């Protein structure tokens, strides 16, 4: 194990000193931030459109309180008192671009209807901005009824519909869907990140063959220590990447929105989901290490080793059936099949309100046995493959090595 840690440290250091890795480590979260803030950034450059000229007919003295709300929402119109009566104003509006006419008449309070006349050519946001007036007008409407404070509160409270469906387990009710979804997405990101860096094991083993350095290394450590070291080293790199993401993205997210993301993440469920992601990494890392050791010429993409790069994406194929029916037969089968198990389990557990613990336990046991088996097989392939210089191994050769 000591030797494995030395190899792991080397692989970690080697990559952390590699400029392209550092750049990708920093650039990925930055790209996320740039893309997520792009819309508001673009707004900054949006050409300042002229404010809409709004003619107000304020018979009921309502404008003052409406304007207050509009300003609090950052809406600024150019306000002008109506010059003539309604029909005259309509004509003016019709012939002047970017203008509107609002009349706060007696009918408004009685009928609850406000007509806003606008020119054809008007700021496209104006329609949304007009809706902001609903709340202050409604408040005024209630005010005019001269109700008691309690009655006002009841009316203001309105009616909300809370759909509650009772699950089979007595007493258990559906709660906040984000409670499971956020740890699930987090574990999914971890799985994605460590499997992506895990793919670098493939390249590392292949390069060690290409650069003919494997035999020198194997004079100091044995092949299983070398393989373990690579798996641990690239796991650490993957986790470093996740940490870089967390350190950059989470504070940014917390700053930009008031969503309590940490409250959702710091729950026991996260531990199990991350554990499943780590198991997924170990499974694919074994495959990458084993197959990478059979592979010297990375340019020969047409050969079968290229297929291993597709294996981690298998759960993506099952995304739709699993999400639409997380307790269906496809979701269950996907949880038991080792190559799709980590991804499918994370997807299912992200959307299922009540976790099927028996299924989870069986899946994890299958996954653990598969990891043990894959590590053993990969070790056999790695041991012979890493020293076979000069050519890529054929599937027939690999099958033969497995029998040793």
Q: How far apart are CA 34 and CA 32, in angstroms?
A: 5
User: Quick one: 97 or 215, whose CB is closer to another protein?
Assistant: 215
Smallest separation, CB 208 to another protein (Å): 8
User: Quick one: 10 or 337, whose CB is closer to another protein?
Assistant: 10
User: Quick one: 58 or 297, whose CB is closer to another protein?
Assistant: 297
Smallest separation, CB 206 to another protein (Å): 13
Strand order in the sheet with 116-118: 78-81, 53-58, 99-104, 116-118
Beta strand extents in 97-192 (DSSP E only): 99-104, 116-118
Sequence-distant (6+) residues with CB within 8 A of 232 are 4, 5, 7, 8
- Report the relative pairing of strands 53-58 and 99-104 from DSSP bridges: parallel
Smallest separation, CB 19 to another protein (Å): 10
How far, CA to CA in Å, does 272 sit from each of 109, 184, 233, 346?
Answer: 57, 10, 22, 9
How far, CA to CA in Å, does 293 sit from each of 16, 214, 395?
Answer: 22, 10, 13
Smallest separation, CB 14 to another protein (Å): 6
User: Quick one: 14 or 91, whose CB is closer to another protein?
Assistant: 14
Smallest separation, CB 11 to another protein (Å): 10
Tell me which DSSP letter residue 266 carries.
S
User: Quick one: 63 or 234, whose CB is closer to another protein?
Assistant: 234
Q: Which residues would be at the binding site for another protein (CB under 8 A)?
A: 3, 6-7, 10, 13-14, 17-18, 207, 211-213, 215-222, 387, 389
Q: How far apart are CA 299 and CA 287, in angstroms?
A: 19
Smallest separation, CB 12 to another protein (Å): 12
- Report the relative pairing of strands 99-104 and 116-118 from DSSP bridges: antiparallel
User: Quick one: 11 or 269, whose CB is closer to another protein?
Assistant: 11
Smallest separation, CB 375 to another protein (Å): 20
User: Quick one: 20 or 73, whose CB is closer to another protein?
Assistant: 20
Q: How far apart are CA 326 and CA 320, in angstroms?
A: 10
For residues 277 and 342, the answer to whether their CB atoms sit within 8 Å is: yes
């Amino acid at each position: 194990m000591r030797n494995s840690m030395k190899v792991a440290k080397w692989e970690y250091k080697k990559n952390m000193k590699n400029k392209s890795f550092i750049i990708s480590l920093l650039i990925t979260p930055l790209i996320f931030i740039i893309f997520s803030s792009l819309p508001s950034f673009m707004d900054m450059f949006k050409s300042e459109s002229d404010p809409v000229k709004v003619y107000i007919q304020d018979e009921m003295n309502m404008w003052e309180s409406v304007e207050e709300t509009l300003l609090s929402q950052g809406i600024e119109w150019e306000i002008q008192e109506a010059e003539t009566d309604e029909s005259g104003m309509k004509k003016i509006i019709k012939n002047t671009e970017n203008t509107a006419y609002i009349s706060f008449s007696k009918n408004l309070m009685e009928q609850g209807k406000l007509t806003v006349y606008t020119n054809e050519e008007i700021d496209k946001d104006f329609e949304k901005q007009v809706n902001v007036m609903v709340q202050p007008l409604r408040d005024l409407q209630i005010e005019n009824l001269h109700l008691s404070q309690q009655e006002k509160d009841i009316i203001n409270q309105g009616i909300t519909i809370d759909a509650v469906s009772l699950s089979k387990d007595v007493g258990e009710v559906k709660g906040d869907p984000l409670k499971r979804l956020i740890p699930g997405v987090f574990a999914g990101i971890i799985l994605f990140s460590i499997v992506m860096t895990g793919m670098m094991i493939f390249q590392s083993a292949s390069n060690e063959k290409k650069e003919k350095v494997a035999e020198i290394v194997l004079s100091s450590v044995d092949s299983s220590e070398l393989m373990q070291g690579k798996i641990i080293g690239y796991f650490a790199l993957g986790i470093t990447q996740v940490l870089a993401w967390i350190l950059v993205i989470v504070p940014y997210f917390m700053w930009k929105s008031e969503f309590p993301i940490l409250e959702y993440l710091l729950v026991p469920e996260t531990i199990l989901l991350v554990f499943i992601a780590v198991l997924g990494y170990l499974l694919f890392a074994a495959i990458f290490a084993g197959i990478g050791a059979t592979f010297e010429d990375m340019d020969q993409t047409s050969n079968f080793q290229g297929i291993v790069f597709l294996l981690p994406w298998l759960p993506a194929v099952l995304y739709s059936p699993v999400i639409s029916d997380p307790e269906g037969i496809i979701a269950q089968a996907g949880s038991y099949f080792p190559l799709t198990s980590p991804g499918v389990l994370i997807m299912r557990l992200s959307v299922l309100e009540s976790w099927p613990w028996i299924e989870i336990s069986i899946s994890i046991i299958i996954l653990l046995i598969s990891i043990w088996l894959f590590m053993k097989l990969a070790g056999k392939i790695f041991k012979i493959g890493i020293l076979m210089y000069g050519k890529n191994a054929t599937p027939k050769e690999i099958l033969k090595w497995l029998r040793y």
